[in-house]
Structure 1
């Protein structure tokens, strides 16, 4: 069994060493699904790889600690893929709102919260 402290520390290192690009600011609509309005800034870590072959996705919350607060692990039956979403500086309520977004349609997700 791995050390969960090391897991979170390494995620923090990955975020700190990456260029965070926000391509969907809070309040904007999802391009193919305009009814989905982003409740928080959403972006990605440039030059990283996620399960879908794209850069690792990141939700950015309202805290200012520059710390990974949680991770969402999701599966999408329509896309036939799995991936994680990093939650950076998210409160418990923000994490719950994001989790709900990833539990719709062909998607299902769980939330792993940093202790």
Structure 2
């Protein structure tokens, strides 16, 4: 398995896409007014996710907007699966996002990108 190729292709997808933040940190969810977005949330324009919408993206507090993780979720109520790309998220932020996607009829796992260590550099 070449895991590096997976992350490389995701990097290319993000780099080639326009990131649109439609729900800034602190804003309310349009249908669930008790939910406040803990981080900026948006999508990659002109992409396709499992729910037939653009691919969702969470943006964390790190200055680098590199992909730090991916959440894979299943929602039995909606009967769909999808991924959420995490850009520049700390471990704590990633856990908060994972907890959000593990409520109600949803279940999710977090795939964390391992840091690349270059020996002898």
Q: TM-score range by the shorter chain?
A: over 0.9
C-alpha RMSD of matched pairs (Å)? 0.6
What is the number of residues matched between the two proteins?
Answer: 114
Normalised to the residue count of structure 2, the TM-score between the two structures is 0.92
Give the corresponding residue for 2:78.
79
Match of 2:10, SS state, is helix
CA deviation string 1:80-112 (max 9, x = no partner): 000000000100000000000000011000000
Shift of 1:21: 0.2
Q: Which stretches in structure 1 are left out of the alignment for 5+ residues?
A: none
Question: Which structure has the bigger radius of gyration?
Answer: 2
Equivalent residues of 2:44, 2:56 under 8 A apart: yes
TM-score in terms of structure 1 length:
0.97
SS at match of 1:100: helix
Per-residue deviation at 1:65?
A: 1.8
Rounded Cα–Cα distance in structure 2 between residues aligned with 1:66 and 1:104: 27
Alignment-derived partner of residue 54 in structure 1: 53
Partner of 1:63: 62
CA distance in 2, matches of 1:13, 1:34: 35
